[in-house]
Chain A
Amino acid sequence: MEAKNLTVCRNARLAEHLYLMEFEGAFTPPALPGQFIHIKIDGLFLRRPFSVAGQKNNRLAILYKVVGKGTEILARKKGGETLNAIGPLGKSFPVIKKWKNVYLAGGGTGIAPLIFLADKLSGEDVKITFFYGAKSRGCIGFEILPAGINFVFTTEDGSYGDKGLLDRAVCGFIGKNGRPDVIYGGGPAGLLKKIGRISEDFSVPAFVSLENRMACGTGICYGCVTKIKTGSGWEYMRICKEGPVFNTKDIKWD
Chain B
Amino acid sequence: MGLNTLGVKIGGLSLNSPVIMMSGIFSYGEVVLDYLDYKKLGAIVTKTVSLEPRKGNPQPRVWEAPSGMLNSIGLQNPGIKAFIKKGLPAVRKNGIRIIVSVTGNSAEEISGIVNLLSAEKIDGIELNLSCPNVNRKELMAAQSPEMTWLLVKAAKKECGRIPLIAKLSPNVTDITAVAAAAEDAGADALSLINTVRGISVDVEKMRIMEGGLSGPAIKPAGLRAVYDVFRKTGVPLIGMGGIASGRDAVEYILAGASAVGVGSGFFSNPFLVDEIYRALGDFLKNNGIKKLSCASGLLNEKEKKQAGQPRRKRKV
Q: Does chain A bind chain B?
A: yes
Could you tell me which A residues sit within 8 Å of B by CB distance?
A: 1-3, 40, 44-47, 69, 86, 212-226, 235-236, 241
Show 15 residue pairs from A and B whose CB-CB distance is below 8 angstroms, ordered by the A residue: A45-B64, A45-B68, A45-B69, A45-B216, A45-B264, A45-B268, A46-B62, A86-B35, A221-B25, A221-B264, A222-B56, A223-B61, A225-B59, A225-B61, A235-B55
Say whether B34 contacts A213, CB under 8 Å: no
Residues from 37 to 96 in B contacting A, C-beta threshold 8 Å: 47, 55-56, 59-65, 67-69, 71, 73, 76
A205: min CB distance to chain B, Å:
26
Which residues of chain A come closer than 8 Å to B27, judged between CB atoms? Answer: 219-222
Q: Which of B26, B67, B71, B269 contacts A223 (CB 8 A)?
A: B71
B234 touches A (CB below 8 Å): no
Q: Which residue of A lies closest to B54 (CB)?
A: A236
Q: How many residues of B contact A (CB 8 A)?
A: 33
Q: Which residues of B contact A226 (CB under 8 A)?
A: 59
- Any A CB within 8 A of the CB of B201: no
- Count: A-B pairs, CB below 8 Å: 87
In the complex, what residue of chain B is closest to A234 when comparing beta carbons? Answer: B55
Contacts beyond the supplied A45-B215, A69-B64: 13 A-B pairs with Cβ under 8 Å: A1-B34, A2-B34, A45-B64, A45-B67, A46-B64, A47-B267, A86-B35, A86-B270, A212-B59, A221-B73, A222-B56, A225-B59, A225-B61
Instruction: Determine the chain A residues whose CB is within 8 A of the CB of B216 once the complex forms.
Output: 45
Instruction: Tell me the bound Cα distance from A89 to B136 in angstroms.
Output: 34
Contact A224 B62 (CB under 8 A): yes
Q: In terms of DSSP, what is the predominant structure of the interface of chain B?
A: loop
Q: CB < 8 Å: which of A47, A69, A223 contacts B73? A: A223
| B145 close to A (CB within 8 Å) | no
Q: Is B307 an interface residue (CB 8 A)?
A: no
Interface residue? B33 (CB, 8 A): yes
Asked if B24 is at the interface of the complex by the 8 Å CB criterion, the answer is yes
B55 near A221 with CB under 8 A, answer no
Report the separation of the CA atoms of residues A69 and B64 in the bound assembly, to the nearest whole angstrom.
10
Which residues on B sit within 8 Å (CB–CB) of A45?
64-65, 67-69, 215-216, 264, 267-268
Q: Which A residue sits closest to B264, measured CB to CB? A: A215
Collect the chain A residues with CB atoms within 8 Å of residue B203's CB.
none
A220 contacts across to B, CB distance below 8 A: 25-27, 31, 33
- Asked if B270 and A222 make an inter-chain contact with CB atoms under 8 angstroms apart, the answer reads no
Chain B stretch 102-147: residues in CB contact (< 8 A) with chain A: none
Contacts of B25 in A (CB 8 A): 216, 220-221
Within the assembled complex, what's the spacing in Å between the Cα atoms of A221 and B133? 14
A235 to B73, CA, bound (A): 14
The complex places the Cα of A47 from the Cα of B63 at a distance, in Å, of: 11
Closest to B53 in A: A235
Q: In the complex, which residues of chain B have a beta carbon less than 8 angstroms from the beta carbon of A47?
A: 267-268
Known: A45-B67, A86-B270. A223 touches B62 (CB 8 A): yes
Interface centre among B25, B65, B270, B271 (most CB of A within 10 A): B270
What 0/1 pattern do residues 252 to 291 of B give for CB contact below 8 A with A? 0000000000001011111100000000000000000000
